[in-house]
Structure 1
Amino acid sequence: MTVTYFSKSSIIGPSSRYRVFQFLPHFQAAGIDCHVDALFGETYFSILKVRSCALRTLLKIPYALVCFLQRLWTLLTLGRRDLIVIEGQLFPYAPPLAERLLRWCRYRVAIEMDDAIYLTPGHEQKLPALLSMATGAIVGNARLAAYATQFSSRVCVVPTVVDTERFKPDSTRSIGSSAQNSEAITIVWIGLAYNLKYLDVLAPALRALQPTFHLTLRVVCSQPPYMPGVEIDFRSWDFQREVADLQDATIGVMPLEDTEWARGKCGLKLLQYLAVGVPAVASPVGVNRDIIVNGENGFLASTEQDWYERLDALCRQPQLRARMGQAGRRTVEERYSLAVWGPRLAEVYRTLAENEHLNVVPQAVYSPVPGHDRSTGTR
């Protein structure tokens, strides 16, 4: 079976890395020859770091044009394929002419989404058209599935997952173990620069906790945050170091605004924390409510007071951190691991390629732990 996956970026882009590149060994093991055609490479991410908006735009236009021409050539020389998977769209902000041509040529095409890209300007009409013409859709959570099923009868939820052989606790320390009250507390956040705004909700809690604990906020990103009064340990993201930057942290955080865009997110950073055995506090938005059973494998926090109380409890109680860290690791191993989902995604590809019926399965993927209220952690 042959598949061409048109990704948004090379392996350096987190979305493409977690939605396709990490699955390639599993596809190969399942007898699927999957070739990935990346639209943007490392140069694109370098351009995004340029501070001047005018210069950034000046550099992006010719670079994007070259990338578009290269992708067009790939399409014109595509040849026979059992399935084509498109991450979002072939040509961002362009009319869906190329996708229509693929369907006219009778290719089986699947659209993949792990963000609510239908909310971005210029995509309100394009995404419904793409989903309607596609053979099926692969989406990252139930929220995205609810949107996609308005336009497609073949929708499958495949959550963003992590490789638990790579993201694992440091073997030199126990899961969830960390400093005692008098020692350093490291709260970690990892993510893209345009999401740094979500950290604002944490600032009051961190400032209030600093007099009691030797507390540092570690930010793993392409740029540091602006957070006066908070001790920042900024670490530029590096693929080779990202696991180690999480392993020796005390607590992971994933604050979000309760918006439609945020509800479409797939909880990657939260899964990364849990996979390495670091207890986490997260906003009860979108899939965070499905991943975290409040009080068992982590905490949910809505208000500034919630953030203060949850972080204070974890800072003060090493045993609580250890218990939640172990529970979080189990959650990822059982429900959000590459080992579990590699064979499943390979089967999804086969089903789409054979044009068989594909059930909508958001509840099968994101069912809460039986007997638990995820918002309160009670039974």
Structure 2
Amino acid sequence: MTVTYFSKSSSIGPSSRYRVFQFLPQFQAEGIDCRVEPLFGETYFSILEVRSRALQTCLKIPYVLARFLKRLGTVLMLNRQDLVVIEGPLFPYAPPVVERVLRWLGQRVVVEMDDAIYLTHGHEAKIPALLKIATGVIVGNDRLAAYARQCSSYVSVVPTVVDTDRFVPLASQAATSPCHADEAITIVWMGLAYNLKYLHVLVPALRTLQSQYHVRLRVVCSHAPKLAGIDVEFRAWDFSREVTDLQDATIGVMPLEDTEWARGKCGLKLLQYLAVGLPAVASPVGVNSDIIVNGENGFFASTEDEWYERLHALCGRPHLRARMGAAGRRTVESRYSLALWGPRLADVYRAFAAGKPNQATPHPAQSPVSSHRHSTRAR
């Protein structure tokens, strides 16, 4: 089976890395020849780091035009494929003309979304049109599926997952040792720079905790945050350290605002925390509410007071951290692991390629993400 996947970026981009690149060995084992054609590469992300908005624009325009032309050439030279998968639109902000041509030529085109891109400027009308053109749609959670089903009858929910052979806990005795006031407690947040704004809800809790424990906030990102009065340990994100920067932390956090955009997120950082055995505190927004069972594998926090209470409980109770961390690891292994979803995504591809999209998602009773309170299911 041949698949061409038009990704948003090279493997440096977290969305593309976790939605396709990590699956390539799995696809090969399943007999699927998947060729990935990224739109943007490392240069694009370097341009985004330029502080001067004017200079950034001057660099971005020719780069984007060059990449658009390269992608157009790739599409024009595309041989008949069993399946063509597009991560979002082929050409952001441009009308879906090329996608229509691909369908007219008889290609089976599947659109994949792991964010509520339909809310972004310039995509409000384009995404519905694109979904109606497509053979089918793959989305990362039920919120996105509910939207996609307004435009397509063939929607498959495949959650974002992590490689549990790569994201593993560190064996440590510290988790069960008595808690001392001078014990170093590292609260970690990993993410993209435009999500740093979510950290501000933690500031009052962190200030209070710093007066009670030896607490620091580790931020793994491309930019350091500006959080007055907070002991911040900044680490520039690096793929080679992506796992180790989490493994030696104490608690993972994922604050979000309760917005329609946030409800469409797929909870990647939360899954990364749980996979390495960290207890996590998260906002009960979107898929977070499916991943966390409050008080069992993590805590929910909505207000500044709740953030303090939940973090204080974990800072002062190492046995609770150990219990929740172990439960979180089990959650990822049983419901959100690459080992489970690799063959399932291969089946999704095969079903769409065979023109049998109603078979494109595992039956709810068999799905590893099904539970008494988990809503990611296929119909």
What is the correspondence of 1:154-169 to structure 2 with a 5 Å cutoff?
154-169=154-169
Distance 1:124 1:328 in 2: 36
2:118 maps to: 118
Distance 1:35 1:15, change over 3 A: same
2:180 maps to: 181
1:311 maps to: 311
Where 2:352 maps in the other structure, the secondary structure is: helix
Higher RCO (CA < 8 A, seq sep 6+)? 1
| TM-score relative to the length of structure 1 | 0.95
8 Å CA contact 1:209, 1:215 repeated in 2 = yes
1:377 maps to: none
Distance 1:196 1:115 in 2: 17
1:227 maps to: 227
Which amino acid is the alignment partner of residue 318 of structure 1? Answer: P
2:255 maps to: 255
Where 1:358 maps in the other structure, the secondary structure is: helix
1:84 maps to: 84
Distance 2:362 2:259 in 1: 20
Distance 1:32 1:177, change over 3 A: farther
1:35 maps to: 35
Which amino acid is the alignment partner of residue 103 of structure 2? Answer: R
Q: CA deviation at 1:367?
A: 5.8
Distance 1:131 1:331, change over 3 A: same
CA RMSD of aligned residues (A): 1.8
Distance 2:360 2:69 in 1: 35
1:20 maps to: 20
1:218 maps to: 218
Distance 1:83 1:133 in 2: 14
Q: CA deviation at 1:260?
A: 0.1
- Large movers: runs of 4+ above 2 Å: 174-182, 357-370
1:73 maps to: 73
Q: Residue by residue, what CA displacement relative to the aligned partner does 1:153-198 show, whole Å, maximum 9, x if unpaired?
A: 110000000000000011x425955782320110000000000000
Q: How many corresponding residue pairs?
A: 372
1:236 maps to: 236
2:272 maps to: 272
Distance 1:373 1:238 in 2: 32
Where 2:358 maps in the other structure, the secondary structure is: coil
Which amino acid is the alignment partner of residue 243 of structure 2? Answer: V
Q: Residue by residue, what CA displacement relative to the aligned partner does 1:85-112 show, whole Å, maximum 9, x if unpaired?
A: 0000100011100100000101000000
8 Å CA contact 2:136, 2:357 repeated in 1 = no
Q: Which moved more, 1:303-312 or 1:352-361?
A: 352-361
Distance 1:373 1:358 in 2: 21
Distance 2:177 2:6 in 1: 42
8 Å CA contact 1:175, 1:325 repeated in 2 = no
Which amino acid is the alignment partner of residue 173 of structure 1? Answer: S
8 Å CA contact 1:178, 1:250 repeated in 2 = no
Distance 1:161 1:42 in 2: 23
Distance 1:16 1:174, change over 3 A: farther
8 Å CA contact 1:176, 1:325 repeated in 2 = no
Runs of 5+ unmatched residues, structure 2: none
Q: Residue by residue, what CA displacement relative to the aligned partner does 1:250-292 show, whole Å, maximum 9, x if unpaired?
A: 0000000000000000000000000000000000000000000
Distance 2:280 2:156 in 1: 28
Aligned residues with identical type, % of pairs: 71
Runs of 5+ unmatched residues, structure 1: 375-379
Q: Residue by residue, what CA displacement relative to the aligned partner does 1:280-339 show, whole Å, maximum 9, x if unpaired?
A: 000000000000000000000010000000000000000000000000000000000000
8 Å CA contact 1:252, 1:278 repeated in 2 = yes
Which amino acid is the alignment partner of residue 55 of structure 1? Answer: L
8 Å CA contact 2:138, 2:157 repeated in 1 = yes
Which amino acid is the alignment partner of residue 43 of structure 1? Answer: T
Which amino acid is the alignment partner of residue 99 of structure 2? Answer: E
What is the correspondence of 1:112-151 to structure 2 with a 5 Å cutoff?
112-151=112-151
Distance 1:345 1:173 in 2: 35
8 Å CA contact 1:154, 1:359 repeated in 2 = no
